[in-house]
Amino acid sequence: MDTLLDVKNLTKDYQLEDITASILRGITFTLNAGEMVAIMGPSGSGKSTLMHILGFLDRPTSGTYHFRGRDTQTLSDDELAVLRNKEIGFVFQSFNLLRRTSVLDNVKLPLAYVGHKVPDSDERAKKVLEAVGLSHRLNSRPNQLSGGEQQRVAIARALINDPSIIFADEPTGNLDSKSGAQVIGIFKKLHHEGHTIVLVTHDLNIAREAHRTLHIKDGEIIQDEIAPTH
Amino acid sequence: MQFKEVIKIILEGYRANKIRAVLTILGIVIGIGSVIVIMSVGAGAQSLILNQITSMGTNLIGILPGASDPNGPPATVFGLTITTLKYEDAEALRDRSQVPSAVAVSAYVSGVDTISSNYESLTGNFMGVSAAFPEVEDDEVATGRFFTEAEEKGLARVAVLGAQAKKDLFGANDPIGQRIKIKRESFEVIGVLSAKGSNIFSDTDNRTLVPVLSAQKLILGIGHLGFIRVKINDAGNLDQAKEDIKTVLRQRHGISNPADDDFSIRSTAQALDVLGQVTDAIRFFLAGIGALSLLVGGVGIMNIMLIAVAERTKEIGLRKALGAKRKDLLLQFLTEASLSSLIGGLVGVVGGIAVSGIIAVVAQSLGYNWSFIISPGSIILACLVSISIGMIFGYYPAKRASNLDPIEALRYE
């Protein structure tokens, strides 16, 4: 399998007045295309920071990060924006949909930043909405949808640019268990279709759905566990 | 990011915050509107003043007795009677070989005395003028005729009445062939001039005209002129004509040093120039004050844009996470500020034109010769200024939005 992410000795420090807080203390792992991985740890363990760095929203203090064989250290902010747009799909705990905008336009939002006009944008948006089972809610506003439906719209939005990897940060954190299960079901389905998925969670039940779990504590990977069932 | 998308986002924002959008835009509406109104009303008032001078003819040169500063008041204003200007001077200026561009010359004397007809007796203004008077003053004879050069030279006892003077002396009766008395001298009325309308300088219709020599010799008993007016063929020849006139008069008066001139020469073009400059200065001063309100409008836009950026911090973070570059966000917020400002500018232009139009209509209905003037330049300028204000005052908020850290922004609640 192709190596998608190759991370070595990644650290992240925050300067808080006189104190230096080390959030990540030397993270090393690789991730292959087509994997479904859970990054698990208690709050404050550094899992969100790790996801931000892996998703090019943040830069590490030290260490190397190769994405599809390419060193990302020297990339400019604009080049990172291009990577976020084309290679990464984000799903957030609080959905982060634009309230005043229709489901269809919310899903199309990343296409606004690809740098050129996308002629078949409507078709593409409808296709990914169909994949999450919402092709009947194209013209609804987010506030007319249930939480589970909103999160599925967010997943569709993450899929629209056919990214190499999807990062989901506590995607079921704001959902009831039934909607949560539905959302996890969609991630599993996408995984079976060949998508690479990283779930960030503190919920062991969610993590169990992934075939591999990176346990993080105090900024370090304490266990890299491959589930035998997968 | 496609420009169409940007506009769509902005319009959605307006829809969500209608009152705020209107109030933001209002600042610019008032600023641009007031500049347009001030410029237009200023131009209208200016045209009112300048039209009145132009109505006297722009090709006129006036020769006044006594020396004076060309931009100062004439010597006669100070109540002096200066007798240096003679009928023969006017005669000499008629000589085409001396003043080639002169097409008509009229000498003037004037006085106030009792004027009476068979119907009325009143104290009125009379003038002694040359036969060329209608040509010099662009006057038309409505009924009868003007007096001839032969009558002028022959001390004829004939008179031509202004439209108002005719009404005052004869009412509805036909004055032609009837006699009037000025002081105690009798004149036959041979013509009535068309009404010309009054202006702020004099009531041109309220006068009685007699040949200049008749006025001098029969009524006033004087040998000098009040002034001479020369009409020239083209405004372009004005300066040359002035020089020619000076040469003639200096020669006739035996003056070798220009500092000793006993006459002064004015032109209406000169007066137009001076008045035009003064009124322009006032207009631009007032427009400058109007422009200050634009600055206030610009600060309003900046204020609202800063609020919008703060409110939409999370959205900005999301857009960055989805691949928006700094310049995308800069463009989005700059466009929003510019669009708000441009809309305000356009509404201000339309409103300003409407208000200026109403003022013009009211002024016209009050009988002023008021022109409704909107220069296309001022509209284009207003639009450019309003877009620039949006850009200038929108830049800081837009920069702030584009520099937000996406993680911080996404966490913002």
- Give the tens place of pLDDT for each residue, A38-62: 999 988 899 999 999 999 999 999 9
> Which residue is closest to B406 within chain A, CA to CA?
A57
Cross-chain residue pair B406–A157, CB shorter than 8 Å: no
Print the SS3 string covering chain B. Answer: CCHHHHHHHHHHHHHHCHHHHHHHHHHHHHHHHHHHHHHHHHHHHHHHHHHHHHCCCCCEEEEEECCCCCCCCCHHHHCCCCCCCEHHHHHHHCCCCCCCCEEEEEEEEEEEEEEECCCCEEEEEEEEECCCHHHHHCCCEEEECCCCHHHHHCCCCEEEECHHHHHHHHCCCCCCCCEEEECCEEEEEEEEECCCCCCCCCCCCCCEEEEHHHHHHHHHCCCECCEEEEEECCHHHHHHHHHHHHHHHHHHHCCCCHHHCCEEEEEHHHHHHHHHHHHHHHHHHHHHHHHHHHHHHHHHHHHHHHHHHHHCHHHHHHHHHCCCCHHHHHHHHHHHHHHHHHHHHHHHHHHHHHHHHHHHHHHHHCCCCCCCCCCHHHHHHHHHHHHHHHHHHHHHHHHHHHCCCHHHHHHCC
**Range name among A163-177, B280-294, B346-360 with the lowest pLDDT average:** B280-294
Q: Quick one: pLDDT at residue A117?
A: 84
- The DSSP letter of residue A9 is E
The DSSP string of A22-57 is: EEEEEEEEEEETT-EEEEE--TTSSHHHHHHHHTTS
> Which residue is closest to A79 within chain B, CA to CA?
B325
Instruction: Give A-chain residues touching B1 at CB under 8 angstroms.
Output: 112-113
CATH topology of domain A33-59+76-226: Rossmann fold (3.40.50)
Q: Quick one: pLDDT at residue A72?
A: 93
Mean pLDDT of chain B: 86
Q: How many CB pairs under 8 A join A and B?
A: 59
Q: Quick one: pLDDT at residue B70?
A: 62
pLDDT category at B352 given cuts 50, 70, 90 is very high
Higher pLDDT: B5 or B334? It is B334
**Does residue B206 form part of some domain?**
yes
Q: Do B115 and B245 share a structural domain?
A: yes
- The DSSP letter of residue A142 is G
CB atoms within 10 A of CB B251: 12
Cross-chain residue pair B325–A78, CB shorter than 8 Å: yes
**Does residue B347 form part of some domain?**
yes
Mutate one of B320, B322, B413 to test the A interface: name it (highest A CB count within 10 A). Answer: B322
Mutate one of B10, B325, B402, B404 to test the A interface: name it (highest A CB count within 10 A). Answer: B325
Higher pLDDT: B204 or B211? It is B211
Cross-chain residue pair A57–B323, CB shorter than 8 Å: no
Q: How far is B384 from chain A (nearest CA, A)?
A: 28
Instruction: Give B-chain residues touching A160 at CB under 8 angstroms.
Output: none
Segment B189-205 shows an average pLDDT of 74
Cross-chain residue pair B322–A157, CB shorter than 8 Å: yes
**Range name among B51-60, B338-347, B362-371 with the lowest pLDDT average:** B51-60
Spatial contact of B390 and B333, defined as CB atoms under 8 Å apart: no
pTM: 0.69
**Does residue B72 form part of some domain?**
no
pLDDT at B201 over 60: no
Q: Quick one: pLDDT at residue B71?
A: 61
**Does residue B70 form part of some domain?**
no
Q: Quick one: pLDDT at residue B199?
A: 54
Q: Do B396 and B331 share a structural domain?
A: yes
Cross-chain residue pair B323–A117, CB shorter than 8 Å: no
Residues spanned by the domain of B49: 3-53+273-411
Q: How far is B393 from chain A (nearest CA, A)?
A: 25
Q: Quick one: pLDDT at residue B4?
A: 79
Phi and psi, residue B84, nearest 5°: -80, -20
Give the end of a domain, one of B231, B261, B291.
Answer: B261
Instruction: Give B-chain residues touching A109 at CB under 8 angstroms.
Output: 319, 322
CB atoms within 10 A of CB A136: 10
Residue ranges per structural domain of chain A: 33-59+76-226
Residue stretches of chain A with pLDDT short of 50: 230
Number of separate domains in chain B: 2
Give the end of a domain, one of B261, B286, B318.
Answer: B261
Q: Quick one: pLDDT at residue B320?
A: 94
> What residues of A are in the B interface, CB distance below 8 Å?
52, 55, 57-58, 77-78, 81-82, 84-86, 90, 92, 96, 98, 100-101, 109-110, 112-114, 117, 157, 161
Q: How far is A106 from chain B (nearest CA, A)?
A: 11
Instruction: Give A-chain residues touching B410 at CB under 8 angstroms.
Output: 57, 92, 96
Rounded CA gap, A190 and A128, in Å? 11
pLDDT at B75 over 80: no
**What does the block give as tokens for A90?**
């984000």
Segment B265-294 shows an average pLDDT of 82
Partner-chain residue, chosen from B13, B322, B325, that has the shortest CB–CB distance to A109: B322
Segment B150-161 shows an average pLDDT of 92
**What's the residue count for chain A?**
230
Q: Quick one: pLDDT at residue B203?
A: 64
Q: Do B377 and B353 share a structural domain?
A: yes
Kindly calculate the radius of gyration of chain B based on its CA atoms and give it in whole angstroms.
Answer: 33
pLDDT category at B127 given cuts 50, 70, 90 is very high
Give the end of a domain, one of B211, B240, B261.
Answer: B261
**Does residue B88 form part of some domain?**
yes
Q: Is B97 exposed, middle or buried (0-12, 13-18, 19+ CB in 10 A)?
A: exposed
Cross-chain residue pair A82–B15, CB shorter than 8 Å: no
> What residues of B are in the A interface, CB distance below 8 Å?
1-2, 5, 12-13, 15-16, 314-315, 318-328, 406-407, 410
Q: What is the ipTM of this complex?
A: 0.93
pLDDT at B348 over 80: yes
> Which residue is closest to A111 within chain B, CA to CA?
B1
Q: Quick one: pLDDT at residue B72?
A: 62
Cross-chain residue pair A92–B406, CB shorter than 8 Å: no
Spatial contact of B307 and B24, defined as CB atoms under 8 Å apart: no
Q: How far is B400 from chain A (nearest CA, A)?
A: 16
Q: Quick one: pLDDT at residue B216?
A: 92
**Does residue B66 form part of some domain?**
no
Q: How far is B373 from chain A (nearest CA, A)?
A: 45
Instruction: Give A-chain residues touching B327 at CB under 8 angstroms.
Output: 78
Q: How far is B308 from chain A (nearest CA, A)?
A: 15
Segment B286-304 shows an average pLDDT of 84
Q: Quick one: pLDDT at residue B278?
A: 84
Spatial contact of A26 and A218, defined as CB atoms under 8 Å apart: no
Q: Quick one: pLDDT at residue B1?
A: 63
